[in-house]
Structure 1
Amino acid sequence: MPKVPSTLPISGLFGVVKPSGPTTMSILENIKPLVASSRLFVSEADLKKVKGKTKKAKHNRYSVKIGQGGTLDPLADGVLVVGVGKGTKKLGEFLDCVKEYRTTCLLGCETDSYDSEGAQVRTAPWRHVTRDGVEKALEQFRGKIMQTPPIFSALKMDGKPLYEYARTGTPLPRPIEKREVTIHSLELEEWLDTKHSYRWPEKKFSEEQKIAVEKALKGAEENASVKDEPEPEPALDGGPTAFVLRMKVSGGTYVRSVVHDLGHAVGSAAHVVTLTRTRQGRFALEPTDETDRACVPWEVLAAATEDAGEPDADGWTKWEREVMDKLEIVEK
């Protein structure tokens, strides 16, 4: 039974296990009404002020701040740190903290988003890639490396998002600036080979779109090319080779770029098909240290948004007990 804080309401941080599919913002929007109606986070006086108001009115009169410590793409699942009240002031430390990920990589195709949510930009041979070849290539991605953000990103160059250059075929005025990041550890966890159900995205870039991307890149890279490279070997049953990586990285690292660049390093192409953030700072899916904190299963919070259920003898619902069990109280 989680310990009830001695003084209420409180401010704090807790981790949520985000599922794949929803956006980070939608997860937060679903949590807000729960937090704003709980005596754990809101004073009895403030709760009385909104009692009886419409759902929309309550939404517009939240008396407590809530935020998150690092967005996850819709495709991604795993640790999402949530801050409530004074806890929101602590969220910045989670942007630059060490994070851990588990990702499944699919060879032979690269996409505009560098993951399976995007469209095919280029295909390349993949049957020559071996497990040993991938493990050897991983060596160049460990430690401090210079990483180039994707051209299909919202990062701006001369006031214009990079993706606009790519979509309109406007040559980049200069190469995309590389960023130094640290890959603390990077291991091949599982070699799936072709024994899996993953497939390349059905959506493909048209020839016009490919030419536009090529034009944009050639403004900064003379030999830039996004042409398909035919597979020299005959077709086989099953999908292209896939494998699973586990990594521990510094803040600001693009996991999708690691996979994209690794595809090039083994003479192929690659994109992400699953991505799980297994740790963000001290919040982890599988705590390994006494200072680690586990995360609240999304199913518990999702169920509470539909029906919070009957409170127990002490007046706490299931979701509140679950949060209290995982909560880190913030005093200042």
Structure 2
Amino acid sequence: MSAAAAHLRQELFEGKFAIGGHRGSGMNILGTAHPLTAQYHKLHPTNLAIRENTVPSFQRAAGNGASFVEFDVQVTKDKVPVIWHDDQVCFRQGEAQVQQRPVSSFAASEFTSLRRADSPVQLVRRKITAAGFSDTEFDDWTVETEAPLPTLTELLQTVPESIGFDLEVKMTTPSAQLATEPEEIDRVVQPILSVVLQARQHSFRKMLFSSFDPEVCQALRERQQDVPVFLLSTGPISLKPHSDQRRNTVSAAIDWARKADLQGLVLDSSCFKTEPDAPRAAEQLGLVTLTYGIANNVPEWIQHQRQLGVAAVVTDNLPVIVQSASS
């Protein structure tokens, strides 16, 4: 393990990344670039104050007390890392039918111009039904204040260095496919690493990588030694379990992260309702546990995770969680 990774692990366990200088919680609280949107991942609102994953939304998260911000990075067809959460970009122009395209089908200039002031494109999101996300029904996706869709380079240049980054490397490999093809891993990982490692030559920003794709985590770990790498896993609660057990079985995730020499895991905290010993089991193997999920918008559940040995939590409900941790 590199000295930088070991230092990050120590700081996480000691709570030194805790928000706003308040370390009473003994736990780091990571914001997201989804501005004040509780329960975003399952019940996304259709009207927000600021478009998510834009520079103003990062500034909002920082202003609400986050020392770290979590976001998803994808790569365009001309090999430019950009910030986008969903698997598809869904949009319409005028009365035309909704188009659904992956980020990899856009050139960077085309992607970033989607939110240009004179753009005729209207972004939409798949409607949420009882069975999950619909493929045929859509909600308008409007915000009070628009902002350009940024590249990773732009974020690194414009967001203050005091704000750490949790870069989730987003892969859209179908769940029925056991492993991502090596060519696709290279297509995504190499441009992201190039931008990050270039930025680190003149920046002291704290950063970590995370991904649901184990092979992506392994590639990130093998190709650099300074930025810690964490495996994301849903645990057993996923609505659409993946065929790769490392993605939805906590024990398999812990075992593989140790064998791959990763620094830790990011788990859906709801899995601790049935597997409360997981954070301590991971810690005994030298792994740091971070969490995400809807349950992380509840202050009492955050405090309970601290007792379980969780080092840091990602939450959308930042102001409430910050106030609770600081009291």
Smaller-chain TM-score range?
Answer: under 0.3
More helix by share: 2
Higher Rg: 1
Normalised by the size of structure 1, how large is the TM-score? 0.24
Structure with the bigger RCO (C-alpha within 8 Å, sep 6+) is 1
Normalised by the size of structure 2, how large is the TM-score? 0.24
